[in-house]
Chain A
């Protein structure tokens, strides 16, 4: 592909994306820049300087509703005795750029408000988002509702500090409105590419068309050319790919589905009279594929990329100031969602009325309030619970009860989702343990993960316990109550380091069990061995867990046992 950037790579792509965004922020929605570093800082700074004639606002994650949407400035209102309004950030940023640092940590309610503002705004006043995403893990991403509404998602993590990068000078750019709309064939090429990459979101497709127009405008072309399409596919479609083109090698990718279409394309090409031999779709698709990093390609090929992530949104629920058991009032200003406790505020102001009236004899108001009088309500909220299942999928367990354990877990999952508690799933077998499912509320995903769980191999009980503990600790770090459920026969025979040996394995497992006991996490151990042996009971004792021998249990009995134990341990 002929890309005219300074050099190939994520940085030059991000640079190009930024240039396109500057040309047409109102139709491209914005840009997400992932990975902190000097390259991103430079790019953001350039963007800000070049957009100097438009408003540029930075929105911190702790912004209050009054400031974001506009509202009453309470302190000023009280001081003057008349309502003083303040303008909202969203009003100020109209037609400009809203820069969101730490976008992956943005609260979901805030993301929701931005989305609403973007959807409801007239195009002429629309603002563009600049999301600075500092996430490292695959799950740490800005809310999908935001990234769906912006054209460019650029990953700059790992980009080496540059030495001599210059903002390319295009002095002959034209306005995007003077570029002719994309032809049906060009739309089709982009649609084919999106379909081949498994992109279902129509917004992405529209962004791609607009990006192609903007790219043409950047090179002062009035008609969209092939390289414009290729750039659009590379910048807009490739980062959203969730699949590789259907089991076809790259050369034959995006073969048109039918004969008739094939002839259509060759005609189109004749009209376009381009030097490329390949059909347009193929050219565009190739451009998109070329820019997907190799590790991501491999992940997609293995089907490891989930179609939609929970965007971390479900996890980051903060303690609400709005519900739960009332705890009485405390001094404070009613903002950030906290509610004013009117009676308490009046009560606090009452003793001072005589003195204040002496100081302010002209005041007409019946009650003289000061900021210090304000009281807000407090509520106590119970944290949500997360049940972490650690399933022994080793050969010994598999032979006996794995199917039953699976059935039981599914029943408990159904229970858990009725109660709105979340579940996570860990399996241990062979040489180690793995997280099959991070904490989620989705029964669909849980069921899928469970169905695909194979059995066989040794019993690395210590690894299972360690991983279970890790998950439980990360759960409680997020302010929720973890609840560990082990389903095992207790016959540990693989040590923590993966080496076989019953003695070492038992020792490691005992140590891990004691760590769980020290962490004070509520645990239940369900013995799934055909005949109860002291092994599992010993481990249960070591981790101070409830021990449930269920030698002849069926799935329903198991579910009843866990449900009966649960309310007492982790109130839902």
Chain B
């Protein structure tokens, strides 16, 4: 069954842009989506994953290895045939255990053949794709630590049950959560590249449009996908061209000074903020087909790159976005 097309999602422009930026430059380190239930968070992520052009994998490889990269697979793949596979989208359930996530001893083979084999977990499954975690704020802490660590290093190291395995796990981490139901520790939040806040569209017209599109999709999924195929193809092309452009785009020293000034102004600790700002501005420039990275690109992505890094002042109710906008106003007028 055809998935809901990415371009058919009504509104939620900031979330869509953040997802596209993360797709263009996965090194940005994941997107955290704050928002109520039923605002299309997982729909958008799923749609983006199914939008991506199929990737080449070795047949029967359980680690989604890239055939063009030699020796990346932890086990010797016997099959050499390459096939096309859709970009993986892994939805991690809330109650997932550590074994399920990192992988564990293959019990079946251990009992049957007495072999010590590794059963890849969700991280291996998500390699080169998307890992979506709903309600990440309710996830057990040690799992969040582990996930962010793997997402940042791009490698999953398993040292347990007598196994010693390492395999690549490069994925775009998408977390979602509702701050009303519990919060994520600041040091974990800081490790997400971008964060966006989504709300249900408030205008009645938008809501009616959503109903119409969802009903149309439910009645005839393939026909609906057909209708939006053109718009979706345009997005695929823009991602592909932005990815090609990305290495050629240089960030000027003046812009880097802007980046540093902005971080200083809003009081962001650590250097992650600066690095993400720089990367995201570059990806944004690549997406908007610009020849160079301009201040305008920086300002467009500043809220989503910094929002979650501001120091929490328990006595100050002012929203983070407002504080960033104020800083931009003061610095750049």
Contacts and interface: CB of A to CB of B under 8 A. Distances in A.
Contacts of A411: 314
A83 B207 contact: no
B112 A83 contact: yes
Contacts of A417: 183, 185
A440 B138 CA distance: 12
B269 to A, nearest CB: 14
Contacts of B208: 184, 187-188, 191
A322 B161 contact: no
Contact of B93 (A112, A190, A308, A339): A112
A322 B207 CA distance: 44
Contacts of B95: 107-113
Interface in B72-110: 91, 93-99, 104-105, 107-108, 110
B207 A418 contact: no
B141 interface: yes
B190 to A, nearest CB: 13
Nearest to A117: B93
B114 interface: yes
Contact of A442 (B94, B183, B212): B183
A444 interface: yes
B36 A191 contact: no
A424 to B, nearest CB: 14
Nearest to A406: B315
Interface in B158-204: 161-162, 178-183, 185-186, 199-200, 202, 204
A205 interface: yes
A268 to B, nearest CB: 13
A420 B141 contact: yes
Given A78-B111, A119-B42, A202 B200 contact: yes
Contact of A116 (B91, B181, B212): B91
Nearest to B199: A200
A489 to B, nearest CB: 23
Contacts of A203: 37-38
B38 A200 contact: yes
A565 interface: no
Q: Is the interface of A mostly helix, strand, loop or mixed?
A: helix
B211 interface: yes
Contact of B315 (A257, A308, A407, A444): A407
A205 B210 contact: yes
B37 A145 contact: yes
B98 A441 contact: no
Contacts of B105: 340, 342
A81 B111 CA distance: 9
Interface stretch (B214-222, B232-240, B244-252): B214-222
A91 B323 CA distance: 50
Contact of B215 (A81, A119, A206, A414): A206
A323 B181 CA distance: 24
Nearest to A261: B204
Interface in B288-331: 312, 314-315, 317
A115 B181 contact: no
A200 B185 contact: no
B106 to A, nearest CB: 11
B185 A308 contact: no
B38 A369 contact: no
B271 interface: no
A334 B107 contact: yes
A181 B215 contact: yes
A116 B92 CA distance: 8
A414 B200 contact: no
Contact of A202 (B38, B91, B179): B38
A369 B113 CA distance: 12
A322 B94 CA distance: 15
Contacts of B107: 72, 334, 340
A330 B94 CA distance: 28
Contacts of B207: 191, 194-195, 202, 205
A187 B42 CA distance: 24
Interface in B24-41: 36-40
Interface string B105-130: 10110111010000000000000000
A191 B201 CA distance: 11
A181 B162 CA distance: 59
B130 to A, nearest CB: 14
Interface string A350-374: 0000000000000001110100000
Nearest to A122: B1
Contacts of A487: none
B96 A109 contact: yes
A443 interface: yes
Contacts of A275: none
A78 B241 CA distance: 55
B200 A339 contact: no
A229 B179 CA distance: 34
A461 to B, nearest CB: 27
A182 interface: yes
B38 A343 contact: no
A268 B70 CA distance: 66
Contacts of A184: 208, 212
Contact of B211 (A200, A205, A440): A205
A297 interface: no
B314 A442 contact: no
Given A110-B95, A442-B183, A343 B162 contact: yes
Contacts of B96: 109, 112
A417 to B, nearest CB: 6
B52 to A, nearest CB: 18
Contact of B314 (A77, A113, A148, A413): A413
B135 A145 contact: yes
B181 A201 contact: no
A287 interface: no
Given A83-B108, A113-B93, A203-B38, A314 B204 contact: no
A418 B36 contact: no
19 contacts: A77-B108, A116-B91, A144-B37, A145-B37, A145-B135, A191-B207, A192-B204, A195-B202, A202-B214, A204-B38, A205-B207, A205-B211, A206-B215, A308-B178, A313-B138, A323-B142, A410-B314, A420-B185, A442-B183
9 A-B pairs closest in CB distance? A109-B95, A201-B38, A112-B94, A441-B182, A112-B93, A200-B200, A191-B207, A203-B38, A410-B314
